Amino acid sequence: MAPVSNRDRPRHPLYALVTERANHVCEYCLAPEEVAGKEFQVEHIVPRARGGTDDLANLALACHRCNPSKWATQEALDPQSQTRAPLFNPRSDSWDVCLAFELNPADERVRIEGRNPTGRATVECLHMNAAHATRARWKWFFHDALEALFHSATSRDPEA
Ligand SMILES: [Zn+2]
């Protein structure tokens, strides 16, 4: 089901291209757009206030948690090395190199772990492990897994 549009904010003219390229997930935390019930936002990686353009190469799809947290920030403190690191750039960094999901069945949460200075700075700056975010992530994680199982079961040829 397609998410309903934002009434409070005009849609970016390149929204359709950006969300399709992102496969309808937040390019920072990988939350699926369809579980938000509202279109995600087109984010400027280099903020317009700092000379960032509206080129596709400077745009990313971001959820309602990541986008306002990042806002005009381009670098933040890596809590491990205590040095500043550039934030994750969905256009030039690999998600799997910088970030990883960490499933915690004991408290039914999925946290995001930074694997390098950029990943750790991004997790902190974007508040990726806020209580509501880790709990919601647990829910959509298993919803997606169950949906994939359901589709593979219902598309199986009964004669096979
Ligand atoms: Zn996000």
pLDDT values of the chain reduced to their tens digit, one per residue, 160 residues: 445 554 566 889 999 999 999 999 999 999 999 888 889 999 999 999 899 999 999 999 999 999 999 988 999 999 999 999 999 999 999 999 999 999 999 999 999 999 999 999 999 999 999 999 999 999 988 877 777 777 777 776 555 4
- pLDDT, residue 153, reads 77
Neighbours of ion ligand 1 (CB under 5 A): 26, 28-29, 31, 63, 66
What's the CA-to-centroid distance between 106 and ligand 1, angstroms? Answer: 23
Beta carbons within 10 angstroms of residue 117's beta carbon: 20
Distance of CA 74 from the midpoint of ligand 1 (Å): 16
pLDDT for res 116: 98
Distance 64 CA to ligand 1 centre (A): 7
Helix (H, G, I), strand (E, B) or coil at 108: coil
Q: How far is the CA of 107 from the centre of ligand 1 (A)?
A: 21
Ligand 1 centroid from CA 139, angstroms = 15
H-run or E-run covering 75: strand 75-78
Q: Any alpha helices (H) in the chain, and if so which ranges?
A: 15-21, 66-70, 95-98, 117-125, 131-154
pTM: 0.86
- 65 CA → ligand 1 middle, Å: 6
Beta strands at 99-104 and 83-86: parallel, antiparallel or unpaired = unpaired
* pLDDT score recorded for residue 53: 95
Neighbours of 29 (CB within 10 A): 26
CA torsion angle for 43, 45, 47, 53 (degrees, to 10)?
A: -90
* Cα-to-centroid distance, 156 and ligand 1 (Å): 34
